[in-house]
Amino acid sequence: MNKQLVGTLVAGVILFMWQFISWNLLNLHQAEMQYTPKQDQIMEALSQLDLEEGHYMIPTVASDASMEEKEKLMESMIGKPWATVSYHKAFEVNMGMNMTRGFLLDLFSAFLLVWVLMKFRENDFMTSLLASLAVGAIGYLTIPYLHQVWMETDSTGYLIDTVVAWGLVGAWLGWWLNRK
């Protein structure tokens, strides 16, 4: 039990600290939050539309559109500009709650990995390291990279996060769970 609790706590802290380094000190996710000098004009235009909060693909068709309407739109879009917009009516700073939620998610993720590793009949440093990297790769490939494929975004920051964070966690757990 002690191995699982200490392994989880330290692995969660490693994940949390790497996320701080990645997003704040190294700014690896800058491609997701690019600046435009036209931001005031864009925000003014969006504010005047009285949009509901949500995520929009522009242009697109209504959710009840027929397959024919969807195909027609896709054909008409070829070679033309398109955008995705995440719109919120008001910016609210809640850093304390967001950081708390982030840390709890990191702890839970670490707990799940430790639980899986402790179920292995045979486990050594390299098995822990590679299993941790595999868990990170599964998350990366099925979420940010798949988003990159369809929405043409840049997931390089997430790839670096996957290798570094889950590599560090795997190295820690490989050492911790296998010490005598």
What number of other Cβ atoms are within 10 A of residue 83's Cβ? 9
pTM for this model (two decimals): 0.85
107 burial type by CB count under 10 A (0-12 exposed, 13-18 middle, 19+ buried):
middle
DSSP H helices, 21-66, are 39-48
Adjacent-strand bridge partners of 58 = 83
Confidence of residue 50 (pLDDT cuts 50, 70, 90): confident
What's the CA gap between 167 and 132, in Å, rounded?
A: 7
Whether 148 shows a pLDDT value over 90: the answer reads yes
pLDDT digits (tens, 9 = 90+) for 52-72: 999 999 999 999 999 999 999
pLDDT digits (tens, 9 = 90+) for 75-127: 999 999 999 999 998 888 889 999 999 999 999 999 999 999 999 999 999 99
What was the pLDDT predicted at 144? 94
